[in-house]
Chains A and B, each alone.
Chain A
Amino acid sequence: MDAIYAEHLFKTYDNVNYALSDLSLSIPQGTVFGFLGPNGAGKTTTVKILTGLLRQTSGECTVYGYSPSQNPCDVHRVSGVMTESAKMYGQLTGMENLVFFAQTIGMEPDACAQRAGELLKQLDLWDARDKKLSEYSTGMAQRLSLARALIHRPPVLFLDEPTSGLDPESAQSVNEMISSLAAVAGTTVFLCTHQLRYAQDICSSYGIIDSGKLLACGDFQTLCDGAGCHIKAGFRLAEGEQLEGYEQKDGWWQTELLKEEEMPLLLQKIVEDRHNVYEARLIRPTLEEVYFQYLEHQEATT
């Protein structure tokens, strides 16, 4: 069974424009799924539909086999959700907030406080536990929201831009936390983000969405193949030397490879041709390149 499954989802707010059109997803358990797309692409809309806050106009979706529109309580029991618009109580302290949300899940009072303390320490909020949330900084409040989403150790996590307001250090520790949750606890993570570098580090699979349409979906290799981005071999040679059939970029002579295994032979040949090779490396496509490739292609076709 897929942890998150969607089939032909459509969503319109005003019966004119479609925020989502024909979105189908199938995300196996334990995947960290990076959901990428420009502003207004429909990421938050998707999360809201999958968590039962919005009703799709048509189509089907399930989270752990439960339908968000029919059994929202079951979906909420198995999932932790963090969105920008879901705020916590300003007049309560960080600790009180977490304990309150733990209680709504039906946890025992002792267990609530213990689990809340654990998360506050993990997210570096322990010192601010008795401060009112209204006195928290944006990043602190955001980390507290993440703690709330994690409080019942849900097997599915929906995170809508969890690191957008965080400083680099916190962002890194949050990302490490997400990776380790997936690796250790087998948590499925649905991660909407604009931070493509981080996404490439922690996601095992991706979806690229624009104007409500899913442009690509799959692991990084699938995405690369779909976008026509290939691995390249790059060589830095002595000043003035040239390589026939290569293109020069940023001081590197580059050529596309079909696969990594071609590299040793290529290097051998260049050395045999008596070139002075200072450096040789494989240049892998980045998620950023692949992402822009898809969006450019999309713009060109519409």
Chain B
Amino acid sequence: MSSRIQTPDTSFALLHDAPELETRRSFLGKSGLVLSGAAIALLAGRDALAKGKKTAGSDVNVLNSALGAELEAIAAYQVGAESGLLQKPVLDLAVTFQGHHKAHADLLAQTVAKLGGKPVSAKEKYDFPVDTLKTQADVLRFAAMLEKGAVSAYLGAVPILDNRDLAKAAASILGDEAMHWAILRNALGEAPVPVAFMS
């Protein structure tokens, strides 16, 4: 039995637990992921759960639906990048943002698996409204809509995640999606940050 005191913050102790952290680092290293603060929080969260905290059933569902949305975003950016509609600086943005979504998805999938769930996989086919995507601006607007939706989705995930480390990680991803949204709006010539609060 672990002698660590069982508080919701137990997992933070892991941040200073070199051997365990090293294991994670090399594990993540193999999958080509850069270990971010969110990654540590997610993986640490699983340890807190493994120590007999609340069942993670609903947390798994929350993370899995976020994963589903991330996988779709990856596919959407792929469609955008291959559309031939995006010109150079914007194309680079799309590729960079797609990379972030891949990192989110990898981490969410690993976490769902660690929590004992079955990570959803990407659909074979996504029904994107390609017939309405005719110009670079159309693609940007579509991407902005997805990114804003992602902010709202994570905002809707944070308060219902039982595990506070997972909530923190979701908030960390939320911040990233919000930056994407602002930059896409800026690229469209719209006010990049039109509101003081997101909903």
Query: Do chains A and B stick together as partners?
Result: no
Residues on B facing A (Cβ under 8 Å): none
Residues on A facing B (Cβ under 8 Å): none
